[in-house]
Structure 1
């Protein structure tokens, strides 16, 4: 898209008015579009340093007018003006050098030169690739936004904070002094880090002054690690009532950093406990009680803040342990069409903007005001470290524009997810993706998003080698984190990311971050459970087809086919060494045959697969119900929450089973062209090896390998397992 840029730098020697001082500002006007700079109080040589951008579709006049005015209570007085004929404006094409601003003598309305007063500015025709574009005032975004909402309409780039797991182990304590010595002490440890709170069980043996816990917990922390860890030892006096026996505040700098699992083990340390003193002049006092704590910052993990099905980043937190990039991802957010009006009550249509996330980098396009067919034409790039990752693009309606109640939440319009492994390298995919949103009232089709995507690989050998490596860093396998604890940590990581990005300027609002990260993906949904169930049942259609084919052979429906099957069966019986080569050769031929039917476009949200079109209203009411439920009866609430909790776990298990089956189907479907090419090539190699190697030798080698001693087994996943884990599934297409 082409734009007319006006860079207003500063002015000098402005004429003196009758009052002596002026409050100047600059007004840039082109047809019906007008932009103004801030007012500089009592200055005859003000500086503004502001760029204005007028879309080429808004060039409604042949003359651009730049006027210097003085702010006055009775009205704005013209100090001087400069006019530019658009036919004489130079054209600048990046990467040309920036256009140097020049001094222009101010004129009166009649075109007479003023004896005093000059303005420094530059005017040129350019495109969105210009470096002045992101911070410029835009005619298609600011004209109706108002001064208070200008910041929320600009395009910005954000980065997620660097997250690290903090591992804390409460080992034991010594010489605890209870407040009441007449009853046995039940000591436990409370660990608090900002909003994350964890508690140990009562120490053993019960009532002893030297309890032992040996419990380990993990927290999510973000740089610059300014939040301290508060360790409190409490005595359980009664249910819901605890008395503090001592506390200590530990800075995170006291934790030992660990970048991998090969480092020396972290040694526990003893710390003096503090407790409030009875003396009001002395807030705290030391006493003989101690607690043994082991702390470490585990940089070797990747902190999960997204759903594992749609992860866009798999790199560890440790910078030295990260692998070099293998390529580049380019995303062009072109536009949208047929969006639904999101603000009909305010007399507006839709103020749409896009947010895209890949890895730690978030990008936000500018807001296009009051249109159902916005055109952004903005391009962004990311470094790619793993092809088995997903980029997420979401369209929102800006709630800060045109609202009569001071601004509301940004409403979601739709989401698009694209898995990089399903893209062919160096090919530009330019398609319209349907935008869908699920509401308690049902499914809404909110329009279409026009995207251009290209994945460029610059290290083919490294990319192919990644298919045999573990998906996550090594510490996830050598020291795995329990699943229940991982879900809790993921929730805490999402809260930290949302809080940090909401403090940016302009802020990336919490509802946007939570929708991008699928904050409610673990909640029970009968609709999603049905979708996962039918995903599993659809995998058995292949077996049913084989049974029908066998029944047709057995019933002699096609005598020629039946005779060929008899001949093949007799040959394999007489020459058993041909069974495995024939099987792998058959797989190779199927893979080549399916190449003609490979997907031509990236996958998108599938309403039929998601079971979102014909969902019962009661099921949607259950899906959008609060957790815990808002039902009035206490018994119903307890049973309802228990049902949803169990159903959520069943839903996850069913989804995992469906994912494994779909990955097997993806071996020969060319959804991941590189993985399918690797598999059919290896199938051909294995077929040749099995053909030239005696069957008995293969069986002996296989059994010896399967029954080898545990000492010769690695704790890391095998290459076939890693290859299988990286295959795409239909989970990317679920709504």
Structure 2
């Protein structure tokens, strides 16, 4: 699935055609930059001025102003010099279709600017007419030659987008950098309430607390003490985004009927005044007054203050990290939320998005199929979006981005999409072309890679290759000791293990609550980025964060089972090796193992050193088979290439289902059969564990008596014979019994077959 690297390169040089500046991972692309700042003293009073910038067949225009003699545009135009054959740059100041004046430049005289040089200062230029004579009016300009490393590149109008018109459409094709919001876990410990005033005093109130934060709503259980002073002592956990714009609303309600609740009081709390906890110390609680709203005459709302109060402990969890994506594909910054607990970065990640090849046609516009591709890369809190290459199946971006790295055991996610918002798309959604993840620990540090990865997308018809993307990646670190220290630390902050976020309920309930919190976090990130300008759209963020990755899939069940078997194949290999030792397949190896076993028993302090030495030798032996380039997703490992069509249809079904009852019934029966197999395995494990427990709990008196007698005999044997002698006798006895049984089976076979066997004759002679 992975094409071998085209060429590994160091220092940012590939095929001898690379930059030596900060953009050293991507190909150098030469651009002509034109910054149109403003104009003054234009000749006509009722002029509607704009500037047309023309270079050969490419032209761009500034914004139009109505009746303004001194307009200010401050716009930048970037013309790619790849296919430019002309030698003159022309700028025309126009009023509707009439020319006010122009300025012309010879390309050979335009200065070159290499970052990080200071920006070129704009200058005033007198306007000329068609004959070259000076006319009234001046235009302030800055013209220079540069590369995509120029700071004006992201905000400039590109000649590649000459067919795109409109300010919104132009904003959608430019490269942008986005930052995710800072997320906190908000813990609301609802303790009790006092002096509630129920509507119906003739009944015991059934009171609960409803907490609302933005679009999140949680409810406590109904208080067991059905009085006007209810007690809950229950935790409600939310995800909050900083800056805290939405207040927390606590509503105490009485369930007077199955579908009828009455509000007894409301409390509004602003989060910016809430205390932040950095460790597991207990936090102070506080009493809040409850307010009741009464509707008068069906229209007006009257606020009534009374003595009812609610006792709540509120704080923001700063020692935890808010997860917004699956932990298996954690991306970047996994530090605690609180800034006081965060450590500095250990290195940097540089990503060069070079080009793509073989992209499919994604949409039809003006009766012609086309693709307007752009890339989105996400690592930690930083998202980047490249510019959109218009109408190309082999786009060349050549853009480079950098990230700070805080943990090497993380991944960077890169997605390729088709822009559907350039020609009045309205409510259209950008189409997915493909996505890939690269684990940073797979890279050798301080070495640059140039790799082509296939773009795979999982569709209802199966896995489909959507082309390839060419990337350049380099991972550097500042301190080897910090790197080694991080590998010895857990992935998440310490508070996740010493003081888990959710402690109540069984494992399944905890997992469901954590999944809900992760979903809320991803929705907050999606809403935040969709409010940027231009927006990073919701479908893009959800696809990059794998929002629906926890949905049921028959393919995933099978893939996870095969993954477990693949990991356990080492135990199967050891079992086969043990069988070969006991059956004397290789007499020399068997004798060596027996001698080693004798030494380890007589000198137990050599056991652990021998184990670690063996592991070191095995790892050293596997060095020859190490991967030569970072691995990519194996569709065979995920069972994506052999999934049944009905399983694919089930995986892409909506939730709740939208399929017919007959189809759902068939899938339900299949799910019952799979769950039955899992149930049987779990039952077998439980039976064996219960049998062990019954030996000491006298559930089976006879077995318990025999177990006690066996333990006493073992005590006597171990005391008088010693542990070493018992271990030697047990090991050799097991080997001899295995060999005896194997030889008996062979002797019962025809003589000619025994003669042709691989067992040495001296072993057969010792067998009775």
Q: TM-score range by the shorter chain?
A: 0.7 to 0.9
Does structure 2 retain, via aligned residues, the 8 Å contact 1:26–1:69? yes
TM-fit CA distance, 1:566? 4.2
SS across alignment from 2:160: helix
Change (3 A) 1:635 1:344: closer
Matched, 1:595 2:623: yes
**Distance in 1 (alpha carbons) for counterparts of 2:274 and 2:603:** 65
Deviation string, structure 1 residues 212-234 (Cα, Å, up to 9, x no partner): 11111111111121211111111
Deviation string, structure 1 residues 293-347 (Cα, Å, up to 9, x no partner): 2111122211111111111221111111100111111111111111111114651
**Distance in 2 (alpha carbons) for counterparts of 1:298 and 1:541:** 42
Equivalent residue for 2:609? 581
Equivalent residue for 1:315? 335
TM-fit CA distance, 1:555? 4.0
Match for residue 42 of structure 1 among 57, 62, 67: 67
Equivalent residue for 1:659? none
Equivalent residue for 2:268? 249
TM-fit CA distance, 1:562? 3.8
Does structure 2 retain, via aligned residues, the 8 Å contact 1:53–1:139? yes
Does structure 2 retain, via aligned residues, the 8 Å contact 1:628–1:637? no
TM-fit CA distance, 1:556? 4.0
**Distance in 1 (alpha carbons) for counterparts of 2:438 and 2:556:** 20
Matched, 1:52 2:77: yes
Match for residue 49 of structure 2 among 5, 11, 24: 24
Matched, 1:298 2:323: no
Equivalent residue for 2:371? 350
TM-fit CA distance, 1:125? 1.2
Does structure 1 retain, via aligned residues, the 8 Å contact 2:358–2:394? yes
Change (3 A) 1:496 1:67: same
TM-fit CA distance, 1:63? 1.5
Does structure 2 retain, via aligned residues, the 8 Å contact 1:234–1:245? yes
**Distance in 1 (alpha carbons) for counterparts of 2:220 and 2:538:** 32
**Distance in 2 (alpha carbons) for counterparts of 1:397 and 1:186:** 54
**Distance in 1 (alpha carbons) for counterparts of 2:252 and 2:659:** 38
Change (3 A) 1:271 1:386: same
SS across alignment from 1:43: coil
**Distance in 1 (alpha carbons) for counterparts of 2:585 and 2:319:** 61
**Distance in 2 (alpha carbons) for counterparts of 1:538 and 1:310:** 20
Matched, 1:198 2:218: yes
Normalising by structure 2, what TM-score? 0.79
Match for residue 89 of structure 2 among 64, 72, 95: 64
**Distance in 1 (alpha carbons) for counterparts of 2:669 and 2:291:** 40
SS across alignment from 2:341: coil
Matched, 1:481 2:515: no
Match for residue 267 of structure 1 among 285, 291, 300: 285
SS across alignment from 2:120: coil
**Distance in 1 (alpha carbons) for counterparts of 2:399 and 2:39:** 33
Does structure 2 retain, via aligned residues, the 8 Å contact 1:277–1:285? no
Normalising by structure 1, what TM-score? 0.83
**Distance in 2 (alpha carbons) for counterparts of 1:238 and 1:407:** 42
Match for residue 385 of structure 1 among 406, 411, 414: 406
Equivalent residue for 1:210? 229
Equivalent residue for 1:729? none
**Distance in 2 (alpha carbons) for counterparts of 1:149 and 1:6:** 20
**Distance in 1 (alpha carbons) for counterparts of 2:433 and 2:41:** 51
| Alignment of structure 1 residues 691-710 onto 2, 5 Å | none
TM-fit CA distance, 1:289? 2.1
**Distance in 1 (alpha carbons) for counterparts of 2:353 and 2:164:** 23
**Distance in 1 (alpha carbons) for counterparts of 2:468 and 2:305:** 66
Q: Report the RMSD for the aligned CA atoms in angstroms.
A: 2.6
Does structure 2 retain, via aligned residues, the 8 Å contact 1:273–1:291? no
Match for residue 465 of structure 2 among 442, 445, 448: 445
Matched, 1:81 2:112: no
SS across alignment from 1:283: strand
Rg larger for: 2
**Distance in 2 (alpha carbons) for counterparts of 1:45 and 1:273:** 58
Change (3 A) 1:213 1:567: closer
TM-fit CA distance, 1:569? 3.9
**Distance in 2 (alpha carbons) for counterparts of 1:241 and 1:528:** 42
Larger mean Cα displacement after TM superposition, 415-424 or 627-636: 627-636
**Distance in 1 (alpha carbons) for counterparts of 2:448 and 2:663:** 56
Matched, 1:524 2:552: yes
Equivalent residue for 2:305? 286
SS across alignment from 1:105: strand
TM-fit CA distance, 1:634? 11
Change (3 A) 1:139 1:390: same
Equivalent residue for 1:685? none
**Distance in 1 (alpha carbons) for counterparts of 2:183 and 2:307:** 36
Equivalent residue for 2:173? 153
Equivalent residue for 2:754? none
SS across alignment from 1:100: coil
SS across alignment from 2:556: helix
Deviation string, structure 1 residues 104-133 (Cα, Å, up to 9, x no partner): 2222223x2223122121221110111110
Does structure 1 retain, via aligned residues, the 8 Å contact 2:354–2:470? yes
Match for residue 573 of structure 2 among 536, 545, 548: 545
Moved over 6 A (4+): none
Change (3 A) 1:470 1:446: same
Matched, 1:366 2:394: no
TM-fit CA distance, 1:359? 1.0
Change (3 A) 1:460 1:626: same
